[in-house]
Structure 1
């Protein structure tokens, strides 16, 4: 019996050593700037798993948290990546972003090996959608028109955020480069909550002229915000059961008061947070049966490949 116990301990230790060695021998390398996905992640989803980490990425999500400030629940996801190529976008159609195809965020996320994903700006074509929004994804311009009303989020080749205010100048300015760096992804939903350290006034946020159609700035809608906290450090915040734009701003400031750039993405029924292939916000039988299908996602992928 003693020999058997020692054998089991030896086998267990050997398995652990092999696991560590596999990571030690793995390579962290930039992902291609194209429509392919990331490296396969190495964990399986479980409801109580809150952290995923490998040598190239760390994602930590919260469970539902109550905010006394706005009397609503919310979710946060904190992401740190090793290389800027790990913040990416993907479409329901694997070949283009100009499409009428729709899939759930989790289905798109699984296809591209997203460690964490969220809905994007609903850029695809369909009746009633503001399909003239500017679409630059994974380094390629798919649509070269703009909605002059809407703030635009540019993500450059260093993974840094730049938010351009809505206005006529959006039509003529170069949106493929900023501050001498190539723009990899551009999204147009908004508005910005924080732009270059400046917090937007409530009057700006609550004005429907600065929000996409259906956003309902004064309504209690589920909201989603993507922030850059520092170099290659990001956070997503989503509300549950809705908040006005002004309330959402207060929540964001309470969570990340020093955030330099915070930008609102599509919300309402489109609000989807996906961790290791599973939707983790607003999860119940009813919502799982009625998950809205989307045109696009923003996601974070592993860049650690086994040899």
Structure 2
């Protein structure tokens, strides 16, 4: 063995092999191998808000439910879905009104927090019996950014000066700067999503015409959520990157929320992740699969039930 190593360039060859193996391991760990992790803390009292899939004891079988391709009405939840064209782009708008905040929930892929643990939005929606669902912030694609779901804090590491969406136990929205806020200090928070940016704050557009998500094209499929009033929400999902739909800029997206009267609105993961699920099926044209048409598997969803 020692004689073999003494030959010219053998050390360099061995070093290159080890470097390649190390690089492959880092890439596998970052993007492929599932890494199940544990929660940091439970922030909210479990008696104040449910943390599992049985939040409501009242089920569809005991309610008066009327569902169509564009609407859903039960004793506690009303959703109206509309489609429109905005700047050569197909846009879906869901107006949601609930009797209380328990109808607004989040779910993790495989009901597990960690990296590279993914399911499609529609699969998670079906598993949680959601009426309407959208992709969340794809927290698993990053190692920083606040992650709090259904009252449990999973990650309290700030992602620079990222703006995070906080949904409190009453279902009200607010925007915080992660660089100046501690996740553990948000004791009334029920959900924290970290992607951004904020589109509407205090009823006013909060992005410039040149604002864009880092490393993203200026026009994209988009997923965003806003609040109009108490227990009154609006979701916008736009198509993009297709011959039929160019996609929206962040400013164009913010304009739609402003027209709808949102007081707060927030941009979630978009592009290939953008998915709108309603009444048992995916509504929008997705562009996240390997053939640029199937759904992209993601880390989490936000849904109404």
Normalised by the length of structure 2, the TM-score is 0.73
Verify: 1:186 aligned to 2:192, yes or no: yes
Residue equivalent to 2:180: 169
**1:201–1:219 Cα change, 3 Å:** closer
Bigger CA drift: 273-282 or 193-202? 193-202
**1:227–1:137 Cα change, 3 Å:** same
Counterpart-to-counterpart distance in 2, 1:52 and 1:38: 19
Deviations 1:61-100 (A, max 9, x none): 12x3112xx2322000111111211111001121x32242
Residue equivalent to 1:98: 114
Shift of 1:196: 2.3
Residue equivalent to 1:244: 249
SS at match of 1:79: strand
**1:100–1:259 Cα change, 3 Å:** same
Residue equivalent to 1:51: 71
Task: Tell which has more relative contact order, 1 or 2 (C-alpha 8 A, sep 6+).
Answer: 1
| Alignment equivalent of 2:285, drawn from 271, 282, 286 | 282
Deviations 1:29-78 (A, max 9, x none): x99521325555469998x621111101111112x3112xx232200011
SS at match of 1:281: coil
Counterpart-to-counterpart distance in 2, 1:269 and 1:88: 22
Aligned partners of 2:164 and 2:175 also within 8 Å: yes
**1:31–1:280 Cα change, 3 Å:** farther
| Alignment equivalent of 1:115, drawn from 119, 122, 131 | 131
**1:262–1:147 Cα change, 3 Å:** same
Deviations 1:89-119 (A, max 9, x none): 001121x322422111011001111111100
Counterpart-to-counterpart distance in 2, 1:173 and 1:72: 36
Deviations 1:106-151 (A, max 9, x none): 1100111111110000012xxxx32211111000001111112211
**1:197–1:253 Cα change, 3 Å:** closer
What count of residue pairs does the alignment treat as equivalent?
247
Aligned partners of 1:45 and 1:276 also within 8 Å: no
Aligned partners of 2:116 and 2:299 also within 8 Å: yes
Moved over 3 A (4+): 37-46, 172-175, 286-289
Residue equivalent to 2:274: 271
Aligned partners of 2:51 and 2:150 also within 8 Å: yes
Residue equivalent to 2:104: 87
Structure with higher Rg: it is 2
Aligned partners of 1:41 and 1:113 also within 8 Å: no
Shift of 1:245: 1.5
Counterpart-to-counterpart distance in 2, 1:82 and 1:45: 17
Shift of 1:174: 4.3
SS at match of 2:272: helix
Counterpart-to-counterpart distance in 1, 2:276 and 2:66: 13
**1:37–1:104 Cα change, 3 Å:** farther
Verify: 1:136 aligned to 2:148, yes or no: yes
Counterpart-to-counterpart distance in 1, 2:114 and 2:267: 21
> What CA RMSD, in Å, does the superposition of the two structures yield over aligned residues?
2.7
